[in-house]
Amino acid sequence: DADVTQTPRNRITKTGKRIMLECSQTKGHDRMYWYRQDPGLGLRLIYYSFDVKDINKGEISDGYSVSRQAQAKFSLSLESAIPNQTALYFCATSDLGGNQPQHFGDGTRLSIL
Amino acid sequence: GIQVEQSPPDLILQEGANSTLRCNFSDSVNNLQWFHQNPWGQLINLFYIPSGTKQNGRLSATTVATERYSLLYISSSQTTDSGVYFCAGANDMRFGAGTRLTVKP
């Protein structure tokens, strides 16, 4: 979905490095999410935010932190990357007002050596 | 947390065939969604369907909320339908492991 942009699209880095993945959206949605996908598996929620002042842990938040800098921006940080954080990371958005369908970015493929 | 089971895990079809994919939840969810992940990894929202039936072209979905399951129907399948189909729901958006669909020409 071109309205949800993730940067970078690919990243290779070393164990122990700090990494930030960024997500921006032009859909005007209040809710934003970060997921990771491991090969052959479904997505798992890392963190989500319902507005700029709201941050919630998901199923697998350990080792990650997030920042909601503005309604349109939601970044995910790995403070000290480890190899088992190698995965495909997705950002998603949804509108406010009850449960609404989610719209995904194209993903960031992260490899930690 | 809620458990999500999808079946079958893999499905191979000949172009033109119909198929039914199933999603079971261990508890009630009020925001069930179906997604298609294409071979390039992109995720597309197919349906937001907490209950009832919806149709979009050759695809339709039915959710029976009281029995905690949802079905995705694909009719007259095409090679472009190939990929992985996920269902998801609950406040912390639990995903199933997906059904990998391969449509052969």
Give B66-80 as a 3 state SS string: HHCEEEEEECCCCHH
Taking only the tens place, the pLDDT of each residue in A85-96 is 999 999 999 987
Question: Cβ–Cβ contacts within 10 Å for residue B61, how many?
Answer: 23
Q: What are the Cα distances from residue B62, in Å, to A62, A84, A111, B22? A: 36, 37, 38, 10
Contact B42 A58 (CB under 8 A): no
Contact B92 A58 (CB under 8 A): yes
Taking only the tens place, the pLDDT of each residue in B32-59 is 999 999 999 999 999 999 999 999 999 9
Q: How far is B49 from chain A (nearest CA, A)?
A: 9
Indicate if the pLDDT at residue A54 is higher than 60.
yes
pLDDT of residue B84: 97
A59: closest chain B residue by CA: B92
Taking only the tens place, the pLDDT of each residue in A56-100 is 999 999 999 999 999 999 999 999 999 999 999 999 999 876 567
Contact B4 A42 (CB under 8 A): yes
